[in-house]
Amino acid sequence: MTHDDIRKILEESEIFGSLPANVLDELAPHFKATEVVKGEYLFFEGDPSERIYLAPRGRIKVVRHSPEGKEVLFEVVPAGRPFALLSGIERFPLSASAVAMEDCTLLSISSERFLQLLGSNPELSMSVIHDLLGRLREARDRIRSLALERVEQRIARVLLTLVNSLGRRSEGRVLLDLSLTRQDIAAMVGTTVESAIRTMSKMQKDGILKTAPGGRIEILDVEALRKISDIQEKPGKPRKKAKG
Closest to 185 in 3D by CA, of 208, 171, 201: 201
Query: In percent, how much of the chain has pLDDT > 70?
Result: 93
User: Per residue in 100-154, pLDDT tens?
Assistant: 988 989 999 999 999 999 998 899 989 889 888 887 887 777 777 666 688 999 8
SS (H, E, C) the chain: CCHHHHHHHHHHCCCCCCCCHHHHHHHHHHCEEEEECCCCEEECCCCCCCEEEECCCCCEEEEEECCCCCEEEEEEECCCCCECHHHHHHCCCCCCEEEECCCEEEEEEEHHHHHHHHHHCHHHHHHHHHHHHHHHHHHHHHHHHHHHCCHHHHHHHHHHHHHHHHEEEECCEEEECCCCCHHHHHHHHCCCHHHHHHHHHHHHHCCCEEECHHHCEEECCHHHHHHHHCCCCCCCCCCCCCCC
144 located within any domain? no
Q: In terms of residue numbers, what domain contains 187?
A: 149-229
242 confidence band (pLDDT: 50, 70, 90): very low
Instruction: Kindly state whether residues 155 and 110 are assigned to the same domain.
Output: no
Closest to 175 in 3D by CA, of 216, 224, 223, 214: 216
Instruction: Kindly state whether residues 21 and 119 are assigned to the same domain.
Output: yes
234 located within any domain? no
Average pLDDT score over residue span 9-17? 88
Instruction: Kindly state whether residues 158 and 225 are assigned to the same domain.
Output: yes
What pLDDT score does 238 carry?
40
CATH number, position 116: 2.60.120.10
Q: 180 vs 55, 76, 96, 228, CA distance in Å?
A: 22, 12, 18, 20
User: Per residue in 172-215, pLDDT tens?
Assistant: 789 887 778 888 888 888 888 899 999 999 999 999 999 887 77
Do residues 110 and 53 lie in contact, with contact meaning Cβ atoms separated by under 8 Å? no
The domain total for the chain is 2
Instruction: Kindly state whether residues 153 and 82 are assigned to the same domain.
Output: no
The phi, psi pair for 13, rounded to 5°, reads: -85, 165
pTM, entire model: 0.73
Instruction: Kindly state whether residues 121 and 9 are assigned to the same domain.
Output: yes
CATH number, position 214: 1.10.10.10
15/141 Cα distance (integer angstroms): 21
